[in-house]
């Protein structure tokens, strides 16, 4: 087994600077969108008092879920002792923190009163899952930072029990974090589309797909930047297998969730809305999540070739998985709000206020810019971290998996 060596991102190609410039422009546009919405109010967005979580929340939750999954490579290395993944553990940890920071940045800036986040951080209502997530997100950053320190400090890294202990803590915490994020929706009894315990395992499975897809794309970008194949053929095969398994699990749990809603008579209406009669939402679900975001990349991976063609197929499949992830979150977050609210489950309610009405929503340009800026924030954080500290593997483990 070869000794792992790590490097900083020391040389920069024109493509790197072009990507960084693009991220800076997108972040600036996102901040401009925030100021515009602050000045003019949320009336300039597509949100209403019926649909209160818009496209920025789609990007925010998508990035937060992906952050948990991005740590999976490090967990496989430390917790399950799969040594072939060890060279990528540092990158996995820093990418997890970066994705979480990008998601939380969008979430905070979309509050309407971003400065009131300090109220949420100091005043807790533990009947609210949002209060729990303050601890889950901050705890995740602290534990992963400690995990990175244990791997990178020469003295601490020699104490295997410490590294493994941090690995187990990070692995456990990320499962709890993703469970909490899924429970934000699963606990909403008035939202028939998402109410149910299956949302937690569905979010865990989805996080594994998104996080690994981000990891693969970052590794491929850095391979081009450093003119070094950071992933050998063995690891390409392992990443391919994991993406197939994780995506299959996500599809299975998605099918179970929808079949469960179809089985229960009170929720058949919302299922027909999301899958057949809901206008844009069935299109986003079937075309975006299922075809483009699941079946197409699975077909690419199933018939993936060798060498450069295989790497290219893996990269395209990873990008398609991320597109499918955004479609999935759009259906879950926006679609569940578009369907009429079930305020009193099991009872009939009648009034002149939107009873039985489908709630319309069209994302505005400021919302789109704010949402996309979260991805740019995450990538900028990851790039700066790789420039300052040795997170990139210089040579991969040849055996021992």
- Print the SS3 string covering the chain: CCCCEEECCCCCCHHHHHHHHHHHHHHHHHHHHHHHHHHHCHHHCCCCCCCCCCHHHHHHHHHHHHHHHHCHHHHHHHCCCCHHHHHHHHHHHHHHHHHHHHHHHHHHHCCCCHHHHHHHHHCCCCCCHHHHHHHHHHHHHHHHHHHHHHHHCHHHHCCHHHHHHHHHHHHHHHHHHHHHHHHHHHCCCCCCCCCCCCHHHHHHHHHHHHHHHHHHHHHHHHHHHHCCCCCCHHHHHHHHHHHHHHHHHHHHHHHHHHHHHHHCHHHHHHHHHHHHHCCHHHHHHHHHHHHHHHHHHHHHHHCCCCHHHHHHHHHHHHHHHHHHHHHHHHHHHHHHHHCCCCCCCCCCCCCCCCCCCCCCCCCCHHHHHHHHHHHHHHHHHHHHHHHHCCCEEEECCCCCC
For the cut 60, the answer to whether the pLDDT of residue 33 exceeds it is yes
> What tokens appear for 201 in the block?
């395992």
- Residue spans per domain, the chain: 15-344+355-392
pLDDT score, position 229:
67
For the cut 70, the answer to whether the pLDDT of residue 66 exceeds it is yes
- CA torsion 248→206→192→197, rounded to 10°? 90
The average pLDDT across 62-83 equals 87
Distance between first and last Cα of the chain = 10
Do 95 and 214 contact (CB within 8 A), yes or no? yes
pLDDT score, position 368:
94
Query: For all residues of the chain together, what is the average pLDDT?
Result: 85
The average pLDDT across 59-73 equals 92
Q: Residue 336 and residue 53: Cα distance in Å, rounded? A: 10
The average pLDDT across 279-284 equals 92
pLDDT score, position 46:
86
Q: Residue 328 and residue 339: Cα distance in Å, rounded? A: 16
Assigned CATH topology for domain 15-344+355-392: Formate dehydrogenase/DMSO reductase fold (1.20.1630)
Ramachandran class of 313: left when φ > 0, alpha when ψ lies in -120 to 50, beta otherwise: alpha
Query: Percentage of residues in the chain with pLDDT exceeding 70?
Result: 91
**pTM for the whole structure:** 0.89
> What tokens appear for 101 in the block?
């920071």
pLDDT score, position 141:
92
pLDDT score, position 349:
65
Name the residue with higher pLDDT: 131 or 37.
37
* pLDDT tier for residue 188 given thresholds of 50, 70 and 90: confident
For the cut 50, the answer to whether the pLDDT of residue 234 exceeds it is yes
Name the residue with higher pLDDT: 350 or 302.
302
Name the residue with higher pLDDT: 228 or 44.
44
Query: Percentage of residues in the chain with pLDDT exceeding 90?
Result: 38
Compute CA distances 142 → 9, 23, 96, 98, 264, whole Å: 24, 26, 12, 13, 42
Q: Which residues contact residue 62 at a Cβ distance below 8 angstroms, ignoring those fewer than 6 apart?
A: 103, 210, 325, 326, 329
DSSP lists the bridge partners of residue 6 as 393
Report residue 179 CA to chain centroid gap. 13
For the cut 80, the answer to whether the pLDDT of residue 314 exceeds it is yes
Report residue 91 CA to chain centroid gap. 16
Nearest to 58 by CA among 259, 281, 295, 297: 281
For the cut 70, the answer to whether the pLDDT of residue 25 exceeds it is yes
At 53, phi and psi to the nearest 5?
A: -110, 110
């Amino acid at each position: 087994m070869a000794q792992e060596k790590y490097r900083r991102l020391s040389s920069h190609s024109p493509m790197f600077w072009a990507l960084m410039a693009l991220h800076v422009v997108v972040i600036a546009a996102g901040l401009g969108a925030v100021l515009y919405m602050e000045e003019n109010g949320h009336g300039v967005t597509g949100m209403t008092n019926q649909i209160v979580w818009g496209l920025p929340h789609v990007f925010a939750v998508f990035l937060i879920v992906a952050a948990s999954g991005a740590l999976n490579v490090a967990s496989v290395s430390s917790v399950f002792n799969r040594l072939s993944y060890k060279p990528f553990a540092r990158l996995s940890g820093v990418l997890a923190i970066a994705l979480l920071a990008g998601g939380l940045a969008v979430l905070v800036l979309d509050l309407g009163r971003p400065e009131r986040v300090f109220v949420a951080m100091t005043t807790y209502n533990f009947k609210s899952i949002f209060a729990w997530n303050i601890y889950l997100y901050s705890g995740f950053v602290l534990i992963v930072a400690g995990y990175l320190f244990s791997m990178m400090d020469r003295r601490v890294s020699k104490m295997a029990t410490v590294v493994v202990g941090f690995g187990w803590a990070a692995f456990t915490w990320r499962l709890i974090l993703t469970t909490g994020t899924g429970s934000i929706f699963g606990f909403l009894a008035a939202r028939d589309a998402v109410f149910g315990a299956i949302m937690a395992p569905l979010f865990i499975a989805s996080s594994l797909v998104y996080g690994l897809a981000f990891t693969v794309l970052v590794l491929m970008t850095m391979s081009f930047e450093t003119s070094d194949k950071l992933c050998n053929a063995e690891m390409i095969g392992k990443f391919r297998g994991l993406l197939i398994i994780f995506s299959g699990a996500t599809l299975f749990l998605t099918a179970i969730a929808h079949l469960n809603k179809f089985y229960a008579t009170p929720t058949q209406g919302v299922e027909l809305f999301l899958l057949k009669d809901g206008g844009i939402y069935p299109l986003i679900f079937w075309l975006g999540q299922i075809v483009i975001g699941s079946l197409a990349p699975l077909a690419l991976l199933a018939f993936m070739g060798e060498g450069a063609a295989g790497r290219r197929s893996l990269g395209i499949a990873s990008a398609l998985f991320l597109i499918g992830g955004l479609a999935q979150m759009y259906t879950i977050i926006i679609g569940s709000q578009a369907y009429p609210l079930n305020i009193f489950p099991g009872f009939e309610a009648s009034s002149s206020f939107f009873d039985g009405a489908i709630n319309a929503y069209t994302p505005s340009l400021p919302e789109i810019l704010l949402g996309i800026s979260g991805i740019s924030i995450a990538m900028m954080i990851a790039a700066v971290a790789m420039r300052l500290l040795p997170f990139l593997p210089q040579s991969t483990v040849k055996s021992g998996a």
